[in-house]
Amino acid sequence: MRLTEPLRALIFGLLTIICFASADSTRNAAATQHQEAAHAESKQLPKQQSESESSLSPEEKADPKPEPPANVENPSNFDMSSQWSVTNRKEEIETTKELVPQSGPLSKPTEEPKPEPEPVPGSRGPPVPEPPSAAIDDEMEQISAEDYGDNKESAKPDEVDNDVIQQLVDRFLNTGSTDEEKEAKVNKAAQALVNSSAYWDMSSIQAERSIKDPAMAKKWMDGYSAEAQKVLYQVTTAGWSYVTSVSHLTKQIFDEAEEVLSEFVKSSSKQAKQFDMSSVDDPLLRKQFQMLSVDGMNALNDASRQEFSQIQSKINKMIAEAGICEMDKPPPCLLKHADIPSVLARKNNAENAQYIWMGWRSAIAPQLAPLYERLMQLTNQGATLNGFSDGGSMWRSPYELSIESSTPKRNMVEELNRLFSQILPFYKQLHAYVRRQLAGIFGIANTPQLTKDGPIPAHLLKTISADNWAALYHETKPFESDETRTEQVLEHLHKLNYTAKGMFVQAYKYFKQLGFGKLPKSLWTKSVFSRTWSKDMVCNPPVAYDMRDGNDYRIKACAQLGDSDFKMAHRLIAQVYYEYFYREQPLPFREAANPSTLTAIINVFSLLASNIDYLKSLQLLPANANDSHAARVNELYLQALEEVVKLPFDLVVDNWRFNIFEGRTNKDTWNDDWWRLSEHYQGVKPPVPRTATDFDAIATPAIAQMHFPAMRHFIGYIMQFQFLKALCQNKTNLSEGCRLQKSSVENVKKVMMLGSSINWVDALKMITGSDQLDARPLLEYYEPLISWLGNANERVQVTVGWEGAGVPFTDGPTQPWAGRDDDGGVRGIEELNGEGDWLNVRCGDDEQDLGDPSEASSEVPVPRTNASDANLQHVLSEDQVAFPGGDCSKGQECLLDSTCKSGMCECNEGLYTLKIGNTHNCVPGNPADAGFGDGHGGLVIGLFPEEKISTLEPSGEPEPSAKPELEPKAKSAERHALSSRLFITSLWVLTWTLFD
């Protein structure tokens, strides 16, 4: 578009006038506010400034969401690089302070925070519910009086790094594009630490074990701890900024902080190896040096380490971008990996399931195979440099309690096989029950690969990896009875005016009643408890963070009201307490005893949060609610489909990779070994014959993206029930949980306080009294389900196991069954009442509606429900739904004319997306036709006014900062002036570009 010279001059003249007028206005405002600030100081108003939160400019917020770095989505990439930073660096590292942190950690990181004054009672808005007084002890009044940071605060614009913005503007004006040059370093605080002390120097390192002076070793460790804390502080603050405000800038800042950390780990690890531990008498000091001497993949040279990181990034990107076409639909192929679970869950079409199963593997596996082969080679190289025989030995070392080439104290491969042999009878009953149900869901005519006594074809499990069968729950659940508890809890959460944050407050009160003590106020003022809709966030996984300054602990979650997130709140508060309790330990020990130990402990409190007596005490269930047998069996069945079936899958994954590490298999035998292990442990087989070039294992994200041992989940899940048994010693029905007393958790608190100064075996013995892993508590927990499965399979004479000859299903009935009454008597299923109607079979006080006994005794059952959306009868709670533009990666139902695609709810075909800020609306007409278009595919929306928010209201906005005092008005005016100038400059440049 071209304008006449007079019109062009008129437009530029108007812009110039606007620019100068804006500058004058902002200067006048700054002067006025400066005078007001000076006047306020003269009246001795508080001088303390609030810590400003930094954010991105509106232009940067509009950028497409970048791919998350591998170590954010995959919490375990740095497992072996530094044992002392397992939790925060590997899960997701956070800060709501500055994008480029300017200050270091506190001078005394281990000092306990001073008690804060109790707030003056006043108007608080909707109350956070508290348990009734009859169910609590005398400390409840003091617990409720604590300040949870619920004061209203102005949502002021965030602080801007003027230097960074000036660099971006200069580069744009000088080159016309910010992509033509290599990006400059923007994380100045992290870069300033490089070579800032002797701990970064690798030029004067002495020979390994050449320094034999214990005093020098102690002095080095003290200095190392101080320097390491500075580095970790920068990583966690940059990481928090990224996961709570995803953008290209925050990702770059986080990546640079991680690079600095990697460089520090490499140099400090080499320095630690100078000291001879045989001359050190202090066992804890020796352990610290041993932990630091294992630097994992940082042992590789710079080129190999960079290649290792790039391979992981490429694998993540390829999986995220790969797509397949839907069956019978031409390109473009838009079905992404994140879409596949929902597609498989909603269609009982065996042909379509097989098409997707094969299509995904064909689309991704051949491209990933050479990358994955190289990844395994580099892992073996790193293990050798750390003194291990291979990558598998290095991965197992934290569990086998081995160091370098020392003999392992435990053989974890044999240990896990022993544990699985305990679980195998339960798993076989579950496998047999599900196998029969699949014949009814898909139809025997459509599943010739499915037999009564053989492995299950993998594509029928409604998952791409066969590691989670939960999509089968509604069609196969044991009892048709309504699961009312979840909806009752949600209903009462609403009635009692709970917010997402309120669930965490209640979880906090639960722990304080058990004597866990008070946590720093930063937990309430700096955490993000619910989705911040004004910014892109990394919602999964929800985790708790130690910000590494000794007094700042936070939670990042996208919680919604509901039973599942109520339990999640208790799990995350438990994690915060774990991190807070070990703060007094030396820096290398400020971690859990082991990742599995952490998982087991915090998951126990998640289970206890569902105890019916506890929920009644909070009025989240009616007083007359009871824990029916049917509801309990259904709940355990769902848990088994989610977690128990993952245990044999863990063994398949680890053994397959261990065989590669040890050289027992190569690319030509990878696929055969994968399916051999899958059939042996899982009872699962491919739907069609496979060849050596299919690389089916690599198409599984649990293999390609999670490059750490799967035994972490296996061991953690076993220990979880051992801990539950120890805490609920007098409970006859372990699946019901219990109400804890203060004395019950004393050993748990001791384990938390000791951090990683003890190993996982010590932690296990302190809590349970035994140092041996044992699956019997798990079986006790699942006993109601195990008993039901045994009776159900016996009733219709289901073959248990998968080593049979491959006998096909038929439509004929089985032999009549005689079941056992609850009192041990025998009862036949084929009983008539006085009117000639078939009776329902009773199990305790609950009925299982079996219908006609000929149907109940048939080899092919009738599914509970149909998989299609129209026939799903269950009611979705708030954490099971999502709206246009929202996250549906956890299987949420997309509402308001949207469909889940690539983990996000997108408008249905034929509808337009109207996006205002971060709100998406599906509309039938093109927004551009209604005057919203800018002519280039974007929208023209007005400026948003300043908002007032309160953390007590259900809001997606971030919680207020730790220091709620407002910043000086003069500084605020200067920032607004800068924003105005940037806006006018951008408008001027845009107009020149459009009209030139």
Q: Are 738 and 727 in contact (CB under 8 A)?
A: yes
Q: CA-CA-CA-CA torsion for 250, 254, 257, 259, nearest 10 degrees?
A: -130
pLDDT score at 294: 84
Tell me: cis bond preceding 64? Omega within 30 of 0 counts: no
For residue 307, the model assigns a pLDDT of 96
| pLDDT on residue 354 | 95
Per-residue pLDDT, 233: 96
Q: Which positions make up the binding site for chloride?
A: 399, 712
**Beta-strand relationship, 684-685 and 456-457:** parallel
913: part of which helix (H) or strand (E)? Answer: strand 912-916
pLDDT, position 608: 96
Per-block mean pLDDT, blocks of 10 residues, the chain (996 long): 50 52 49 47 39 37 42 38 39 39 44 44 41 44 63 44 60 52 82 95 92 96 96 96 92 94 93 94 94 88 93 91 87 84 88 94 91 96 93 95 80 96 98 96 93 96 93 93 82 96 97 96 96 84 92 95 96 98 96 96 97 95 89 95 97 98 95 97 96 90 90 97 95 90 96 97 98 98 97 94 93 47 34 35 42 55 61 46 69 71 70 64 67 55 42 39 43 50 52 49
CA atoms within 13 A on the CB side of 547: 27
CA-CA distance, 284 to 905, in Å (whole number)? 51
- In the chain, domain spans: 58-100+161-299, 305-481+642-709, 484-627+726-777, 870-934
Q: What is the pLDDT of residue 769?
A: 97
Question: Exposed, middle or buried: residue 888 (CB in 10 Å: 0-12, 13-18, 19+)?
Answer: buried
What's the sign of the alpha-carbon dihedral 253, 259, 261, 267?
negative
- pLDDT at position 346 is 84
What is the C-alpha to C-alpha distance for residues 357 and 687, in angstroms, rounded to an integer? 9
For tokens 């990358």, name the residue.
Answer: 371
Per residue, what are the HEC states of 507-571?
A: HHHHHHHCCCCCCCCHHHHCCECCCCCCCCCCCCCCEEEECCCCCCEEEECCCCCCHHHHHHHHH
Given a contact cutoff of 8 angstroms between Cβ atoms, the answer to whether 438 and 863 are in contact is: no
Grouping H, G, I as helix, E, B as strand and the rest as coil, residue 832 is strand
CA dihedral 747, 748, 751, 755 (to 10 degrees): -160
Q: How far apart are the first and last CA of the chain?
A: 8
* Residue 905: its H or E element: strand 904-907
Q: Is the dihedral of CA 363, 367, 373, 376 positive or negative?
A: negative
One DSSP character per residue, 262-321 reads HHHHHHHHHHHTTB-GGG---HHHHHHHHHHH--GGGGS-HHHHHHHHHHHHHHHHHHHH
Contact (CB, 8 A) for 827 and 819: yes
Query: Angle, nearest 10°, between helix axes 670-677 and 646-661?
Result: 150
Contact 771, 593 (CB under 8 A): no
Write the pLDDT tens digit of every residue in 355-373: 999 999 999 988 999 999 9
Residues placed in the known binding site: 399, 712
The single-letter code of the amino acid at 212 is K
Question: 962, 151 in Cβ contact below 8 A?
Answer: no
Structural contact between residues 73 and 705, judged by C-beta atoms closer than 8 angstroms: yes
DSSP secondary structure letter of residue 739: -
Question: What is the reported pLDDT for 885?
Answer: 74
